[in-house]
Structure 1
Amino acid sequence: MNDISNSGGVAARKGFVFQDHVAARYVLNMLEDRRIEQVECETSDDITLRWLINGKRFVEYVQVKSNDVDRWNWALLTKRDIAKSPTSIVEKSLLCDRGPEPGHFRIVTRNGVHSGLAALTVPLAKRGPTDLDDLSARLTKKYPTISARGSNLDYWARHAFWEALSTEDDIRAKNVWIVATLCDGDGCSLRSEQIVTLYRDILELVERAAAADRRVPADKILTRETMRLWWSDRLRSLVATRPGLGLPYRIAMPQFLVKIHEFTDPAKPRATTGYDAEYERKQWRSAQLAGHLVRWVPELVLKASEIAQTNHLTLADKTGQGLRKLRELRHHGVERLLAETLLHSILRSFFDSEPIACKLFYRTSAASGVVNNAHIVQHHEGDQIWLGRTHVFRGDDFDALIASACAELEDALATPLLRAEREIILELRQPEHLRRDDVEEALADSAPIDRFLRILRFAILVIYDSAVLGAGHSDDYRARLVSELTGYGNAYHSRLPASVEEVQVHLLLVPVESLDTLVRDFEAAACLT
């Protein structure tokens, strides 16, 4: 007698596989949709999604049912495992609603539903006000169940969505397609086997989170910020094996500077970061820093379309072209060229930015503003445009520098200048050579300048002669340098005028042992003499 079946362990394992693919799909959605803040595996429910939409947070509890049912119906939704206990699918889903944020609910199955549950398959935003009245009345009449937040089954019906996703093979194929689409949007032309590998890596993260101990909640959570960083790192490693493909800014050079100080104001949009070039055999690395900056020159002076045509055969030509263009602009002053290159390198290396062509090197039909470096920085809360301003500071009158820098920043916020900046960015930006971003709406000519301001962050670079570094190497120089950076950062932010209170300002401090020496080293490395 043949009594072999897939019940028990085999069926359970198939269910877990289906659930893992569903969770992976939400992780992929989260990479693209910043409204999803995090995906949780096996916490409050099978999968839990935390959303932030228009400033309002809510939690979506997802139950995944892999049962081989032709059509889900009323009886299956409301059948209790224990007659006098709230153990039906609908009640278990409702009872997840016990946190501080409002709850939404989702049932994910392989197959669809009978007509009695069809209203649940319509997305919440597309439902009419009375579409769920009949189902709600039946549910509340059948069970008086109340969640810990005080919600009943009427609330559940009006905040629940039923989603049919077919088999794990189908959802896997769709997920792989999403991975390919995301890669394409980020400028990465990967081989099909690399795309499959990338999806397997995501699936492994999901499986690990699902299997993690509930007593360590952080191990069961995949946040958007963490996953975006993970995604960027994985793409870099994959595209590095396929040089010449993708977008020109997909890979940044290794970091030369070291971040030694960081401060973010919890109450205001203010931040300070301090960097150090460090010592080598007790000699401050001036010549090495200059040489590193020269390697960034092609990116600084060439447009994205020009860099995109570069491969290992034309790299030397492009580098030479960049240095020639830099020499043509020598009349701007070597100090200024050094500072602009340094700012570019920091934004690229530490903030994974994508530059818009530097205005020092390209004439535009728009009037010139007070900034030259403009970069797009992808952020988990919304993509930003960083406008850069550089200051080279000698001497000990830091108050004078602060006063000058604050005045320039205040001038930059004048509405006519902001409009000019937006026009220049539109003129120089080459979106076909950049990763996907969501700054388009704010850059539109018809958009109010307030919308442009909301995505702006001013990056203020100050490169200065450091008293600590000028005194030479000592074992405790790092601690004293951090103290110096902290003092300068606090002094700058405390002097910012009230007119820029709501504007995001990020101060970037780079202390050097001797500006004169660094300028000479940069001049020599770039053949500007």
Structure 2
Amino acid sequence: MARPPFLDVIVQDLGASPSVTGLCAGYENSVWRADALAARLIEEIPSFALTHRERADFADDTGVHLMGVAVRKIYTTDKYKRRGEFGELLLHLVLREVFGTQPAISKMFFKDAANDTVKGFDAVHVVAPDGGALELWLGEVKFYIGRSDAIRDVVAELHDHSDRDYLRSEFAAIVAKLDSTWEHHEQLAALLDRRTSLDQIFDAVTVPVLLTYESSVVDSRVGALAGGASPSETDEYRRVFQEEILAGLAAFSAKGLPERIRIRLILVPLHTKEALLSALHARLVAWQQATN
């Protein structure tokens, strides 16, 4: 039986350019669901960190072992607060849950050691419509506290990552990591071949840009719930949430985005980044210890 999605899509305009999606993790017992979101993200680690072959081998008798393999690929250090893996994991969840993508490779594949940091696109996914051409989704994420800082830094990266030489280098690295048993291996390898024009590749590429930030709207909702507001009274919350998302879209669009790139802006307002980070780290360490 299919499980309901965890994230609530409150704002979505796929006809805008760039398109925009605003997601909410929701509330429980008058608090923002940081711990529940952390639990949901941990569930995604196998699909995020394992190879296609490893995921194919995931079964009753191998699941615990492979979960151990997956959680140790993330990092094994207490110096986690400035690392990027949790942002990449959130992007991975959103792409799969909201947009129905599937991972082609994970940045975890590029690590030589568990605590390495890896540059490049933060997600390499595909959408494979029935009978349609393969779409390549190259994701960027900024798991930040401040929205303006996230916008500034991601726009700079979008310009850097749309450079011809950079793209050719990234495409070569992606093709080298593709699993030959994956059903879309040959199609994606052909798309990213050096003999394929970048003009043709751009027509097949979508760049989802996920930004987090600590939200005044979320903070006000937590305060209202703590003060006795009814959890079922959400109309006003959804209205101000939408206003905040659209303000974020306007600020992002005003920065001068690269041409020829199809961008999907995804905003995930947080209550506090620290609460989510701490919950994620605690659960990751618990799984690492349990499967050691």
TM-score per shorter chain, which class? 0.7 to 0.9
What residue number does 2:12 align with? 262
**Residue 425 of structure 1: CA displacement?**
1.4
Which residue, out of 122, 132, 136, partners 1:385?
136
What residue number does 1:461 align with? 210
What residue number does 1:355 align with? 103
Q: Are positions 1:518 and 2:276 aligned together? A: yes
SS in 2 for 1:479: helix
**Distance change (3 Å), C-alpha of 1:281 and 1:363:** closer
What is the rounded CA distance, in whole Å, between the counterparts of 1:274 and 1:437 in structure 2?
34
SS in 2 for 1:312: coil
Q: Are positions 1:406 and 2:155 aligned together? A: yes
What residue number does 2:35 align with? 287
**Distance change (3 Å), C-alpha of 1:466 and 1:335:** farther
**Residue 455 of structure 1: CA displacement?**
1.2
Q: Contact 2:126–2:137 at 8 Å: present in 1 too?
A: yes
Q: Are positions 1:376 and 2:126 aligned together? A: yes
Matches of residues 1-400 of structure 1 in structure 2 within 5 Å?
254-265=4-15, 268=17, 270-328=18-76, 333=81, 336-363=84-111, 370-379=120-129, 382-395=133-146, 398-400=147-149
Letter in 2 for 1:482: Q
What is the rounded CA distance, in whole Å, between the counterparts of 1:508 and 1:431 in structure 2?
31
Q: Are positions 1:417 and 2:166 aligned together? A: yes
**Residue 279 of structure 1: CA displacement?**
1.0
**Residue 477 of structure 1: CA displacement?**
2.0
What is the rounded CA distance, in whole Å, between the counterparts of 2:71 and 2:158 in structure 1?
30
What residue number does 1:433 align with? 182
Q: Are positions 1:478 and 2:238 aligned together? A: yes
**Residue 448 of structure 1: CA displacement?**
2.2
**Residue 363 of structure 1: CA displacement?**
4.2
Letter in 1 for 2:49: V
Q: Contact 1:356–1:428 at 8 Å: present in 2 too?
A: no
Out of 257-266 and 428-437, give the one that drifted further.
428-437
Q: Contact 1:393–1:401 at 8 Å: present in 2 too?
A: yes
**Residue 375 of structure 1: CA displacement?**
0.3
What are the Cα deviations for residues 115-171 of structure 1, in whole angstroms up to 9, with x where unaligned? xxxxxxxxxxxxxxxxxxxxxxxxxxxxxxxxxxxxxxxxxxxxxxxxxxxxxxxxx
**Distance change (3 Å), C-alpha of 1:416 and 1:329:** farther
Out of 352-361 and 307-316, give the one that drifted further.
352-361
What residue number does 1:241 align with? none
Q: Contact 1:439–1:455 at 8 Å: present in 2 too?
A: no
SS in 2 for 1:328: coil
**Residue 346 of structure 1: CA displacement?**
0.9
Letter in 1 for 2:242: V
SS in 2 for 1:385: strand
Letter in 2 for 1:526: L
**Residue 399 of structure 1: CA displacement?**
3.6
Letter in 2 for 1:423: A
What is the rounded CA distance, in whole Å, between the counterparts of 1:253 and 1:454 in structure 2?
33
Q: Which has the higher contact order (CA 8 A, sep 6+)?
A: 2
SS in 2 for 1:433: coil
SS in 1 for 2:269: strand
Structure 1 unmatched runs, 5+:
1-236, 238-251
**Distance change (3 Å), C-alpha of 1:507 and 1:317:** same
TM-score, normalization by structure 2: 0.83
What residue number does 2:250 align with? 490
What is the rounded CA distance, in whole Å, between the counterparts of 1:448 and 1:469 in structure 2?
45
**Distance change (3 Å), C-alpha of 1:258 and 1:469:** same
What are the Cα deviations for residues 393-416 of structure 1, in whole angstroms up to 9, with x where unaligned? 224xx4443222111100000111
What are the Cα deviations for residues 255-287 of structure 1, in whole angstroms up to 9, with x where unaligned? 211111012345x4x211111111123221110
**Residue 485 of structure 1: CA displacement?**
1.0
**Distance change (3 Å), C-alpha of 1:302 and 1:516:** same
Q: Contact 1:334–1:523 at 8 Å: present in 2 too?
A: no
SS in 2 for 1:527: helix
**Residue 335 of structure 1: CA displacement?**
5.0
Q: Contact 2:143–2:212 at 8 Å: present in 1 too?
A: yes
**Residue 435 of structure 1: CA displacement?**
5.1
What residue number does 1:504 align with? 262
SS in 2 for 1:423: helix
What is the rounded CA distance, in whole Å, between the counterparts of 2:179 and 2:66 in structure 1?
19
Aligned residues: 270
Identity of aligned residues (%): 24
Larger radius of gyration: 1
What residue number does 1:101 align with? none
Structure 2 unmatched runs, 5+:
113-117
What is the rounded CA distance, in whole Å, between the counterparts of 1:369 and 1:524 in structure 2?
25
What is the rounded CA distance, in whole Å, between the counterparts of 2:129 and 2:250 in structure 1?
25
Q: Contact 1:389–1:461 at 8 Å: present in 2 too?
A: yes
What is the rounded CA distance, in whole Å, between the counterparts of 1:329 and 1:432 in structure 2?
33
Which residue, out of 170, 181, 195, partners 1:446?
195
Letter in 2 for 1:514: T
What is the rounded CA distance, in whole Å, between the counterparts of 1:507 and 1:514 in structure 2?
21
